[in-house]
Chain A
């Protein structure tokens, strides 16, 4: 039996897709690297929300586990990302992603 007052999975998935989309557009449009990292976090949250919704829908705890993984990955990613931001600031004296194009062919 499904609990009465639940949010339908479709709604949760729409929110997750919106979060993912907002994050993606943020990643593509923002030039500041800190904002880009934040956008990345938003995308991760979107994905995580999708897992939670699916887990709740099918009553399967694997989704919850996956959320914990995503959470730890996001923490690790942020720590590495902020380290890179510090290096970027130090090496090219800018936080604009367009300035960090030394790898052009």
Chain B
């Protein structure tokens, strides 16, 4: 058991090390065996652990070695398996394996094949360390590790400068959140002189009064880290640009796993967050606003991957909304189902892009339904789950979130209505994508069909996107569960009906040629302006460029001439001038020296004489 748990992050790490060191010299088949096989073996280890878990559900820890010890403060490299981490383990290794398999075909032609798998394996290892960590410092190590791999993989095709810029942007934005999170961790160390998650949570529940100052500050700081990592308002602008990386990377890192690390962190520290109700209501509010704002932004995009990126931001907003109203189980369930259907959507989008010669603009797609049947059906199932149509996994989780939000207290109705608007827009844009890409007239002929290594992951994920919602997650020992049933009656029917209305509207707007021709109001000034505004992500990028990037570069340009140093340099300049003046008198002319000596002598003698008389 303990060995198995160690192997789960150990195998991908071993494979990543091997590939980084000697991957360049290995044959391609070997790289594939290493890269895909290590995740597969880790997946088997997780399956064995899960099997054991179902027989005897006992959380346990493995302490590998002591990391550091300063006085009474001590941090171990220790892994901890409980209900929460096993859910993430299954998601990461399961979806991770499928995406690795898919990558082995998607990246087959790339010259940097082994580097790609090395980074991807390193990512999986870091993510596993993050969710298995027994203490917050080890968690932070994994947290930064996934950030690093995200940076490396966004900028994977570094020959294009724009990709490097996108990678830096992602790294810096998440780092902004991480700085706040590190301060939060320091606060916890200062208060409890420990970073062990269970000790901290237990200590906080003993020492801190609910709603007092310290828990609010600590939770707010740690939440800032989650906001950066999970691309919530106001740190969300990096995620759409992160689509510069290879599509399987977007599926694994920027949809299924890394961006849900924020959800994991909040769920893991739920004992702490319950002490800070004010922060929780901020979490819910930010989640709701993000869900709506990102959904509108997704509606106006033309790039198929940017649509999915904004949609990911929006869905993460729903998860934070759920956590904010203390519907922990609903948030975690949505994390899992979202991982299934968003990975499916990204992989299907990747298949479409690959088959259309790297075409990403949906305006140049169309009529692919019969040409690319496998991506079409995958996309249809994924979009249905994303829109939360009944009988899909997305419905099970999102419907639960909305109903829990409704019954969550005085702010419930407000939060529900925001989330409902978001759900409507979600259905609208996800089926807009279906109608524009797969129906209508053919614009670009596909040049190939996806092979089996692409088709199998699509099939498996499509299966889970339908049935994934019926998996009942055992969470009773890690998060407090709601006692009452979600509300029934009218509100349940309205909640379930919103996505269906959205799909119908999408059909009317985008599925019917005659209505598209009639859609005059869409082309009015306000409509065009709104579309451009949403296309730019509500002008957030422009805002940040104006308020942060441009002043900073202006400052840097001013400091390039080192204005402070001018004063110091002035002193040096004066000294140098004196030196040059004195050096000029040392001209080597002996006769001039004699003359000067004589003049000096006469002056001195006359002074002495004057003094004597």
Q: Indicate whether A104 sits within 8 Å of B591 (C-beta atoms), given known contacts A24-B598, A28-B598.
A: no
Question: Which of A28, A100, A101 is in CB contact (< 8 Å) with B595?
Answer: A28
CB distance from A86 to the nearest CB of B (A): 17
Question: Which of B583, B590, B591, B598 is in CB contact (< 8 Å) with A105?
Answer: B583
B589 within 8 A of A: yes
> How distant is the Cα of A97 from the Cα of B591 in the complex, in angstroms?
8
Question: Do B594 and A101 touch across chains, with their CB atoms under 8 A apart?
Answer: no
Question: Do A104 and B594 touch across chains, with their CB atoms under 8 A apart?
Answer: no
B586 within 8 A of A: yes
B69 within 8 A of A: no
Residues from chain A with a CB closer than 8 A to the CB of B590 are 97, 100-101
Question: Do A101 and B598 touch across chains, with their CB atoms under 8 A apart?
Answer: no
CB distance from A61 to the nearest CB of B (A): 28
Residues from chain B with a CB closer than 8 A to the CB of A105 are 582-588
Question: 0/1 per residue, A87-105, Cβ < 8 Å to B?
Answer: 0000000000110111111
Question: Do B588 and A102 touch across chains, with their CB atoms under 8 A apart?
Answer: yes
CB distance from B224 to the nearest CB of A (A): 64
CB distance from B597 to the nearest CB of A (A): 10
Question: Do A98 and B586 touch across chains, with their CB atoms under 8 A apart?
Answer: no
> How distant is the Cα of A29 from the Cα of B588 in the complex, in angstroms?
16
A31 within 8 A of B: yes
Question: Do A31 and B587 touch across chains, with their CB atoms under 8 A apart?
Answer: no
Q: Closest chain B residue to A25 by CB distance?
A: B598
Q: Indicate whether A103 sits within 8 Å of B598 (C-beta atoms), given known contacts A31-B591, A98-B591.
A: no
A27 within 8 A of B: yes
Question: Do A103 and B595 touch across chains, with their CB atoms under 8 A apart?
Answer: no
Question: Do B594 and A103 touch across chains, with their CB atoms under 8 A apart?
Answer: no
A27-69 contacts to B, CB under 8 A, are: 27-29, 31
Question: Do A104 and B598 touch across chains, with their CB atoms under 8 A apart?
Answer: no
Question: Which of B583, B584, B586, B591 is in CB contact (< 8 Å) with A28?
Answer: B591
> How distant is the Cα of A24 from the Cα of B601 in the complex, in angstroms?
12
CB distance from B590 to the nearest CB of A (A): 5
Residues from chain A with a CB closer than 8 A to the CB of B591 are 27-29, 31, 97-98
Question: Do B594 and A98 touch across chains, with their CB atoms under 8 A apart?
Answer: no
Q: Closest chain A residue to B589 by CB distance?
A: A101
Q: Closest chain B residue to A100 by CB distance?
A: B590
Residues from chain A with a CB closer than 8 A to the CB of B598 are 24, 28
> How distant is the Cα of A62 from the Cα of B594 in the complex, in angstroms?
30
Residues from chain B with a CB closer than 8 A to the CB of A27 are 591, 594
Question: 0/1 per residue, B571-594, Cβ < 8 Å to A?
Answer: 000000000001111111111001
Residues from chain A with a CB closer than 8 A to the CB of B595 are 28
CB distance from B52 to the nearest CB of A (A): 88
> How distant is the Cα of A100 from the Cα of B589 in the complex, in angstroms?
7
B544-598 contacts to A, CB under 8 A, are: 582-591, 594-595, 598
CB distance from A75 to the nearest CB of B (A): 22
CB distance from A58 to the nearest CB of B (A): 21
Residues from chain A with a CB closer than 8 A to the CB of B594 are 27-28
Residues from chain A with a CB closer than 8 A to the CB of B583 are 105
Q: Closest chain A residue to B586 by CB distance?
A: A105
Q: Closest chain B residue to A102 by CB distance?
A: B588
> How distant is the Cα of A59 from the Cα of B216 in the complex, in angstroms?
108
CB distance from A95 to the nearest CB of B (A): 13
CB distance from A56 to the nearest CB of B (A): 25
Question: Which of A24, A28, A29, A104 is in CB contact (< 8 Å) with B587?
Answer: A104
Question: Which of A24, A29, A100, A104 is in CB contact (< 8 Å) with B586?
Answer: A104
CB distance from A4 to the nearest CB of B (A): 35
Question: Which of B582, B584, B587 is in CB contact (< 8 Å) with A101?
Answer: B587
Residues from chain B with a CB closer than 8 A to the CB of A104 are 586-589
Residues from chain A with a CB closer than 8 A to the CB of B589 are 97-98, 101, 104
> How distant is the Cα of A97 from the Cα of B586 in the complex, in angstroms?
15
> How distant is the Cα of A100 from the Cα of B598 in the complex, in angstroms?
20
A6-30 contacts to B, CB under 8 A, are: 24, 27-29
Question: 0/1 per residue, B55-86, Cβ < 8 Å to A?
Answer: 00000000000000000000000000000000
Residues from chain B with a CB closer than 8 A to the CB of A28 are 591, 594-595, 598
Q: Closest chain A residue to B584 by CB distance?
A: A105
CB distance from A17 to the nearest CB of B (A): 13
> How distant is the Cα of A24 from the Cα of B10 in the complex, in angstroms?
95
Q: Closest chain A residue to B579 by CB distance?
A: A105
Residues from chain A with a CB closer than 8 A to the CB of B585 are 105
- A-side residues, CB < 8 A to B, are 24, 27-29, 31, 97-98, 100-105
- B-side residues, CB < 8 A to A, are 582-591, 594-595, 598
- Can you list 10 residue pairs at the A/B interface with Cβ under 8 Å? A24-B598, A27-B591, A28-B591, A28-B594, A28-B598, A102-B588, A103-B586, A104-B587, A105-B582, A105-B585
The 4 closest A-B pairs by CB, nearest first: A105-B586, A101-B588, A104-B588, A105-B583
**Apart from the given pairs A27-B591, A28-B594, 5 other A-B contacts in the complex at a CB distance below 8 Å:** A31-B591, A97-B590, A100-B588, A100-B590, A104-B588
